[in-house]
Structure 1
């Protein structure tokens, strides 16, 4: 029998969280070079560079930044996942065969299959991503499998040819092409290609089936992440980013991956879990299906969102399962004997959130909610459909007013509707504009809020927003749409094609006000200090056109730090040893693992979604950036005093933005905030602390935006 271990057709799905992406030549395992996309967050520029095989080999004992920010390490540390696949493979691969592993990663499933089939048989491992091919080779050598039963091919799955890359069609399919939504990594097209080209008729499969479950919930925070219109209508500042006439929508209709356990106490469940779709791995999947559901409300409330998860049945007998359900979902009674479902936090699979109608849908207890669900090849969507007598109520509460122009993250939607944040920013702008008539204001980042606020507050100012990520066309269209509601005219706003045009305008007066939130569209996964792009450009591009008394907002940045208890997060990023009996320690450095290594990388994360957490120390300032001066190398020290006893797993760093020269208006983005990601620096080994202090020193290099820290032993 011939077996198949399947991963994505397109390797970039697995790497969507990386800040740099790599593209390999898909010819053979002997590929001699790879193209790596390098992005500089301080300039916004990206370029493809060629890394020769020899050069890459020389770096193999160094952490690879673009691999450290992916989910590879977290996935390999998921003991539930590893155990479930090992048990299912052992039950399915019971005799010598030829196994094909597509998207093999580090080769874990290939090793499991090779061991399960006994002394005979072979495995062909297909992996398109060259850095992982190199990692797999090291893992195979460490487990004495290199060149024996497992052969690696550096190709994509849709490039494989039976009779050339593999000797015959496969008899058994073993796959792990799953993201938090289930379909986002190309599960359906990958399986379709495999059934059409790589599998025999009626193959066996591991997993056997996946089932999508959902639940209706009420949650103010989830509502705030979606309904900017309602939040804004309650504000008294006169700024209108969203209009009821169908203008200026920011939210894309899609599911968002989120650790919903972090907001469990804020969630009111309005229905029992209900089944949406089954996806059978043992037959060729359809590209499109739809279903109608009538969901009974178990509590009265307002439906703000649908939370979804999946249950994976790995074997055909139904004895091995894996679930991504939130903690409040009880284990089904028929599965209580399965240790596979014991919970452990992991980041590679979360729950999915589909936001309901804009203002929410009110329901009474025992009322039926009519839902229409659709899936295509890569996603699942929902639509509320209510009965005839509910039409008026749906029109009042359930209409999504806005047409999408920008696809902003849910966190940014919630931030733009936050009355405290809006008040802080408006107060800072009013101070900056004070006593300045006919000022020239430059918005250096992608802040639509600052652009509108300045034009709204000052009737004589001329505003030049750069919008480096949003782009001139979309931004101009949007600003024109909301101009009347915000009481400004477009003749006072000028969007340039590129920031260099500022220096070429002979008639341009000096800039009086340079502002940023800072926020750069598409930079949702950068480290906090990598948002200093506006400071870099203030130094290299804008310096010659700034007036002598220019006001820069924010005027300073404070790099803050605290020590934290992060057991779940540390466990998911710790060094690999044996995984189901296979040595993986050789890839720890490449993947940026913590524990026993010299240095672990900074990781951008929402700390509030990192499982169990606790702040153990005061929040200290370790470095100060003065934006009134050109960018320069910086350093700073801090003594961190512990205020709580416990196990310290690492440090969390973030930026506090000082908006005015009087230091009265400060915007914090710390671990107690939900709108921003912080930087997590994990210790090599957790340290128990009770009291006392530790010293930390930081160094910032403006040439590449890199930050390094050194800390003394915790004492």
Structure 2
């Protein structure tokens, strides 16, 4: 999954790509653009503490300097290139399809792996005047530079022409001499269509390819399965989960069930991690088929009749796709969960497919949530599902729910008060224990305060509603740095249902600092955050330290007895065995006969540099996992004091035998030290990503015989947190 066409590395949230676009699958903290004429690049960096962004100029020589910090370390290139089944399948199909006279176009070339496969398939005979050609199209400049290094190292630079453009910018007679007769590409995401597959194929068919062209891959088919899972239900149905909580806070009041909701889309997820919590309610069923060798339609609909195999409630549709790479139908690659043993349901086994696909992160399964409490079904019942695809997405509706869904979609598009949150955030807001703990901390903070001025420093609609509800005399100012006006409209829409008046609630969302004029010369009595920042769910755990920066900026406005929540942050660590995750990020060597060692530093591969980059991940979705130590505190952040740099070290003693691949890091937020209310974001909590620090090389552990020292440093000026494994005994 390489960066292709007009889309650059994503910063915080997942943005649907416009027609013809493509993006990497992993979130990143920076993005880059370039000007081809000058060789100058601009990298957009996000300060995780201030929340501010700035464009930093990077000269061409800096991009080529492999000693610099990896620019692409948080993308999924490395994971994709370590996917051996994918690489083998593409090699076999390209060898079958490409001849020595082919004109091959590779769209979204990345490191040039598929282009080199195609050039090799043509043979080494340079005597023919009509020898084949390979054109590699890649729009992302850092990857173009990296690809050229790979081509030179493999003596392929004279066989492959590299064009730094979007594929829909290519012109026959200008960029390429003639139309190509073979298209090779890998512009697929977990949903299949999200990286602009359809518009890219449409443009290539119309403008870049001969009439009867060949393609690798040849065809893709999407499949689905009905499942029951209470844990999946909790990820989207806040209304019914909130109905089971007796705290009288109504984030989604009756009649406004969709005012806080997840986006109606498929969500990529490692469903194997949910295996024991999922009850299958149907056999796998075919949904859509997309032929790469002909012009695809932008819109498609199909009705699928599914026989229920058990009594239960359909909470979700789990979907995946199967790639047929060759025309003959002998070479397949599937993103199916491990409980599917054949790529094509109800068919025999195929020699080029293995049911034990390696764990990888660049392609997962997808989850589509059914509405509300789900769809009750009985065994042998015929379930009717309508599937629709657009240029970039696939959606589903069940006949029994279709009338409701149309109303929901209309409301979503017509009312500004609706807020779309991530599934994990919806689950947090519906969690009884989390709400109880937060309310306990709020009530303790407000005790004895007659008319408190309360500032909500983040994007927490829960805290804004809860504080206004808990203290009828309080005045609430919500900063809402991400939600902005939508947050105000939401608070206004749910005010009556939560027993507060909007004349006590104010939303101030502006770049400049909050002033005493905004508070009517009153000082702040309660300064509080979860912390949660809208759109930043994919960032590292310490992105929440933005709360500390804001608290420091407003230091002069805080009352002498101000209550600050959280009052402390504790950086925690645990040694982990993570063989699947480590394998997906290990240093590259030979990929199907092509040397890729020169990309390791740039991509942040394990073992390629002295220190591997930190990146965010849901540990529970990391495939095989095992804790090898107790939990250790590395350092603490004291929010009662202004923002400052800090440093900490801790010695980690290994308590279990195994192979250590790295450390999980997270922050425990101490909401109230006097009542020991702590909100953890550790690996036992599914709704937060942890920070991952992988070792350069795995370490075999014998308990009682080895330990290691971890050192962390937080730089308050940049907001960066560095973590190093400095000693091994």
Q: TM-score, normalised by structure 2?
A: 0.93
Contact 1:39 1:47 in 2 (8 A): yes
Aligned residue for 1:150?
Answer: 160
Per-residue Cα deviation, 1:436-471 (whole angstroms, up to 9, x for no partner): 110100100000000000000001110000000011
Where 1:480 maps in the other structure, the secondary structure is: helix
The one of 223, 226, 239 equivalent to 2:236 is: 226
Per-residue Cα deviation, 1:140-163 (whole angstroms, up to 9, x for no partner): 1211222x1112111111111101
Aligned residue for 2:176?
Answer: 166
The one of 292, 306, 317 equivalent to 1:306 is: 317
Query: 1:154 & 1:343 partners in 2: Cα distance?
Result: 33
Query: 1:525 & 1:162 partners in 2: Cα distance?
Result: 40
Mark the CA change 1:229 to 1:102 in structure 2 (over 3 Å): closer, same or farther: same
The one of 577, 600, 607 equivalent to 1:588 is: 600
Query: 1:341 & 1:24 partners in 2: Cα distance?
Result: 42
Tell me, yes or no, if structure 1 residue 10 matches structure 2 residue 16. Answer: no
Contact 1:558 1:656 in 2 (8 A): yes
Contact 1:86 1:580 in 2 (8 A): yes
Aligned residue for 1:500?
Answer: 512
Tell me, yes or no, if structure 1 residue 62 matches structure 2 residue 92. Answer: no
Where 1:485 maps in the other structure, the secondary structure is: helix
Mark the CA change 1:201 to 1:396 in structure 2 (over 3 Å): closer, same or farther: closer
Contact 1:656 1:666 in 2 (8 A): yes
Aligned residue for 1:280?
Answer: 291
Query: 2:723 & 2:42 partners in 1: Cα distance?
Result: 30
Contact 1:358 1:400 in 2 (8 A): no
Contact 1:243 1:402 in 2 (8 A): no
The one of 709, 712, 715 equivalent to 2:723 is: 709
Where 2:426 maps in the other structure, the secondary structure is: helix
Per-residue Cα deviation, 1:658-697 (whole angstroms, up to 9, x for no partner): 1113261111111111000000000000001121332222
Within 5 Å, give how 1:372-521 maps onto structure 2: 372-386=386-400, 403-404=411-412, 405-471=418-484, 473-498=485-510, 500=512, 502-503=514-515, 505=517, 507-521=520-534
Aligned residue for 2:630?
Answer: 618
State the shift of 1:711 in Å. Answer: 2.6
The one of 244, 253, 256 equivalent to 2:264 is: 253
The one of 48, 55, 60 equivalent to 1:41 is: 48
Query: 1:419 & 1:185 partners in 2: Cα distance?
Result: 37
Q: TM-score, normalised by structure 1?
A: 0.94
Per-residue Cα deviation, 1:320-345 (whole angstroms, up to 9, x for no partner): 00000001112255334324554100
RMSD: 2.0
Per-residue Cα deviation, 1:585-609 (whole angstroms, up to 9, x for no partner): 1010000110253111001000001
Q: How many residue pairs get matched? A: 697
Tell me, yes or no, if structure 1 residue 32 matches structure 2 residue 43. Answer: no
Query: 2:7 & 2:123 partners in 1: Cα distance?
Result: 30
Contact 1:8 1:190 in 2 (8 A): no
State the shift of 1:497 in Å. Answer: 3.4
Mark the CA change 1:470 to 1:427 in structure 2 (over 3 Å): closer, same or farther: same
Per-residue Cα deviation, 1:59-81 (whole angstroms, up to 9, x for no partner): 3333324x111111100110011
Aligned residue for 2:140?
Answer: 129
Where 1:359 maps in the other structure, the secondary structure is: coil
The one of 692, 709, 713 equivalent to 1:695 is: 709
State the shift of 1:31 in Å. Answer: 5.5
Where 1:421 maps in the other structure, the secondary structure is: helix
Per-residue Cα deviation, 1:140-199 (whole angstroms, up to 9, x for no partner): 1211222x1112111111111101110100111112110000000000000000001000
Contact 2:197 2:392 in 1 (8 A): yes
Unaligned 5+ segments in structure 2 are 9-21, 127-131, 413-417
State the shift of 1:44 in Å. Answer: 1.6
Query: 1:501 & 1:624 partners in 2: Cα distance?
Result: 27
Aligned residue for 2:204?
Answer: 194
Aligned residue for 2:16?
Answer: none
Per-residue Cα deviation, 1:630-654 (whole angstroms, up to 9, x for no partner): 1111111212122211000001100
Unaligned 5+ segments in structure 1 are none
Aligned residue for 1:671?
Answer: 683
Query: 2:159 & 2:82 partners in 1: Cα distance?
Result: 25
Query: 2:551 & 2:375 partners in 1: Cα distance?
Result: 47
Query: 1:638 & 1:398 partners in 2: Cα distance?
Result: 55
Query: 1:498 & 1:6 partners in 2: Cα distance?
Result: 36
Query: 2:68 & 2:354 partners in 1: Cα distance?
Result: 34
Query: 1:397 & 1:172 partners in 2: Cα distance?
Result: 42
State the shift of 1:246 in Å. Answer: 2.8
Contact 2:331 2:353 in 1 (8 A): no
Where 2:106 maps in the other structure, the secondary structure is: strand
Contact 1:657 1:667 in 2 (8 A): yes
Tell me, yes or no, if structure 1 residue 238 matches structure 2 residue 248. Answer: yes
Deviates more, 1:497-506 or 1:337-346: 497-506
Per-residue Cα deviation, 1:101-132 (whole angstroms, up to 9, x for no partner): 22211111111111111124332212111110
Mark the CA change 1:344 to 1:215 in structure 2 (over 3 Å): closer, same or farther: same
Where 2:672 maps in the other structure, the secondary structure is: coil
